[in-house]
Amino acid sequence: MQNKKTNLASQNLCNDLYSRSKIGPLFYVLSTLITGFLADYYASLSMPFIAAMFVLVITAIARLMARPPQNTKDSRDAFIKKHWLLVFCCVVTWSIFFSWTVYELGLSSAFIFGLVSTINFSTAIAHQFSPHLKRALFCSLLCLLPTLVVIILFQPSLHVAALALALYIPYLLLTAKNSHKEYFEHLNNKLQLEAALLEVELLSITDGLTGLYNRREFNNQLGRAFATSNRTKQAVSLILCDIDDFKKINDSYSHTAGDDCLIHVAKVLKNVFSRETDIIARVGGEEFAIIVLSDSENSAMKSAENFQQLLSASVCSTQGHEISLTASIGVVCYQAQTSIKPHQLYDLADSAMYRAKNKGKNRVEYTTL
């Protein structure tokens, strides 16, 4: 259960990283274009501008094409590493380009626009990618610090801007930490809700005593089996079995012993009908139903006989007693070309089962269509 929760959390992290980063690369490209336009780099065909545009366009395409995997932990880890490598590439490229612009032009419309973009980028990184707090803060600071250093060393007239950036950094660190905490609280609540909903869904389709499907879900599964048979031309066999003299067990040993016997029967059924396509349900007090998808009618009949023999050869140990069990079983097979409804198939299997009881119990009866 814990491993499943860990896998779900890991998958959510991958999906969130992808959804939160889809648009980001485009803003790096647009900001570089606008900054270059304001700085008149088009006219001079500035190599730093051309290089920055080339790298950011390629990186943006790579980030948009990187899809989160849906399978193994290793593939998810590889996706996360690739994601952060591309984010790092975007941040470094923008930071170098804008720092060079500040060094070249100082106070200008390109500086004002670029500074706002830099603050936006660093804020977005710190909060959007806060699930990986250390990496997010590293890239966020990498976005801010080169510009701050260039202003301090080469543009003394912009020291007020440097002071504003310096004051903004601790605020960014504190809010990113809070965002990290809130994200995982939200993720934990989401996983708990999903687990609760899954448990409720499971409870709604299973029998509380045996863990098998209940009658309502059996009806749904039988309808799906008919649809599958019509699509694949595969036979659908329905097996109904009723525990013989079950009332005597309850009267002689107690209802608790009767419950233990039902659990024992369910275990034997699971051992015999163990294929993924086999559907086992408890459809009444001591009555069970099995849906078998097979290529031949004989397959279900042989499985039913195997179950009847194994059950009669076994005993249920309960409350110091060894209780022998037998079952009366009815089998009917549906072929796609047969004009019959699911409830009619059930009635035929039920008739076969009662025929087995009338013929002495502990036997299998087969009905042909």
Catalytic annotation, residues = 286
Q: Look at residues 163, 147, 152 and name the one whose alpha carbon lies nearest to residue 102.
A: 147
Contact 273, 303 (CB under 8 A): yes
Q: What single string gives the DSSP state of each residue in 182-195?
A: HHHHHHHHHHHHHH
How far from chain centre, in Å, is Cα 16? 13
Pairwise CA distance, residues 210 & 118, whole Å: 61
State the first-to-last Cα distance of the chain, in angstroms, to the nearest integer: 45
In the block, tokens 């708990």 appear at 192
Rounded to whole angstroms, how far apart are CA atoms 314 and 267?
Answer: 11
CA distance 86 to 82: 6
Distance CA 41, CA 183 (A): 41
